[in-house]
Amino acid sequence: MHASRKPAEATPPRLGPLATLPIFLNLAGKRAVVVGGTAPAAWKAELLAAAGADVVVCAPTLAPEMSELLAGGAAAGSLVHQARQWDAADLTQSAIAIADLDDEEEAQAFTCAARAAGVPFNVIDKPNFCQFQLGSIVNRSPVVVGISTDGAAPILGQAIRRRIETILPPSLAMWGRLAKALRSEVATQLPPGAMRRTFWERLADRSFGSAPKATEELHLRASLHEIAQQADREQGRVTLVGAGPGDAELLTLKAVRALQSADVILFDDLVSPDILELARREAKRICVGKRGHRESCRQDDINDLMIQLAHDGRHVVRLKSGDAMIFGRAGEEITALANAGVAYDVVPGITAASGMAARLGISLTHRDAAQSVRFVTGHGRHGALPENLDWRGLADPNTTLVVYMGGKTARAFANHLLAEGLPRRTPVVAVSDVSGPHEQRWLGVLKEMASQFPMAATGAPVVVGIGQVFRKAGRCEQLRHVDPCVPGRPARTQDVLNGVSLPGVRELVETMT
């Protein structure tokens, strides 16, 4: 028996240091000054006018780009050219001032005049003469995304912009305008909190699809009315989310959206801080750790907490490592929720077996080596091997076998397979902390696993792969054996082949060639 513990609220991570503070400035109908007629100045003038500013361009001469801009006019705001040098009076009553000046003394004079007038200023490509920076922009107005690298890497900022451009559909602008049209009505009909957030989540769920239809506003107003009518019978819900094997980049988009909409997150010990960092910052985080052979929260306590929070009208995210529906006791939680009348849904995650296969570059069902794959737990109800495993079926040489939570019971597991006739030299791979920052790997054969299994001492969750598909792991360049005596230190490939860290590996490799 292992000691139990109670769910414990975790302190959300503090906001890390910011190189700059992103601020979105409303310039509609306000005066803006651009000094210089160069191509860079033209881009800044166009940007300010697009934001609705009345832009005054002070420049004796104009580059072709600026002449073309002035002749064509702005998408919004206005553009006026004054063919002369700037002076301090130009900055009076201005909301913002930008200049393209090569001369350091003139740049200094410009910043002094702007300070005296109380105007935020920027001298292009001269960070020492800037109160603010203009980063890369993704325009889905009224949705606007600004990207800054604090002047350190403008090309990186542009690359990030290109990536975001591919993610955000052009129709997002139409959804943004629709949201703006409904904003005051939502504020009037729905109180702040869960109900209002429910409405905006419904709109957000649709906004990444096709453009809104002509009837969309009517449908959203009906949805608004429906939510408002439920004020007296507000119910929460639970979302079971698979967090994947460890790497935050392996989360699904749907999982991220669930984390961003959660009121409360009940998370396991194995969920990485990087994944929790993606959650809505206001969400309460409660650790309900469940670890084999360690002090864990009782499943009944977790079930009761989920139900209580949902009855309080909260959106609860039950965040589990890997896939919630594979060895995650999700079945017990779903039964408890259904019996309590709590609505729930499930967001699948990448299970540890898939994560391990991807990391090793190995297909679990390579047709030359396996006709099926089986997932099995190495951790029974009382910590030992489950009592009712079909050992004869598991010893099928044409099946890839993946053992979850198999670190402590690996030797006993291997001995059962050997007793059923599985060849002693069947390849074995074990990976702990799959895709995580402390991932370790071990390569061996079944007879070695039965006599010695160093991964059992890592303390991290271990996934064991057994079968002929792992024969290719011996040739895989990215596979590095980790000496369990020195955690985190990858041994050189030559060390592995010489058997320095792992006795018997040379014999294994010889059987593979």
- Residues taking part in catalysis: 268, 290
- Per the structure block, which two tokens stand in for 146? 């600004």
Positive/negative CA dihedral, 191, 194, 199, 200: positive
* The Cα angle at residue 11 between residues 6 and 13, in degrees rounded to 5: 140
Element housing 50 (H / E): helix 39-50
Q: Give the HSE-up count for residue 337: Cα atoms under 13 Å, Cβ half-sphere.
A: 24
Q: What is the DSSP secondary-structure string of 372-406?
A: EEEEEES--TTSS--TT--HHHHT-TTEEEEEET-
Dist. CA 328–CA 375, nearest whole Å: 13
SS3 annotation, 217-258: HHHHHHHHHHHHHCHHHCCCEEEEEECECCCHHHCCHHHHHH
Choose among 235, 225, 231, 283: nearest CA to 259.
Answer: 283
Helix, coil or strand: residue 69? helix
Distance set, CA 313 to CA 132, 194, 198, 279, 414 (Å): 43, 8, 11, 19, 48
What are the residues facing 33 on neighbouring strands? 56, 97
Q: Let me know if 375 is exposed, middle or buried by CB neighbors in 10 A (0-12, 13-18, 19+).
A: middle
Query: Strand runs (DSSP E) across 268-361, as ranges?
Result: 284-287, 296-297, 315-320, 343-347
Q: Give the HSE-up count for residue 327: Cα atoms under 13 Å, Cβ half-sphere.
A: 27
What secondary structure letter does DSSP report for 458?
S
Neighbour tally for 172: CB within 10 Å = 18
Distance set, CA 434 to CA 310, 350, 442, 476 (Å): 32, 11, 12, 17
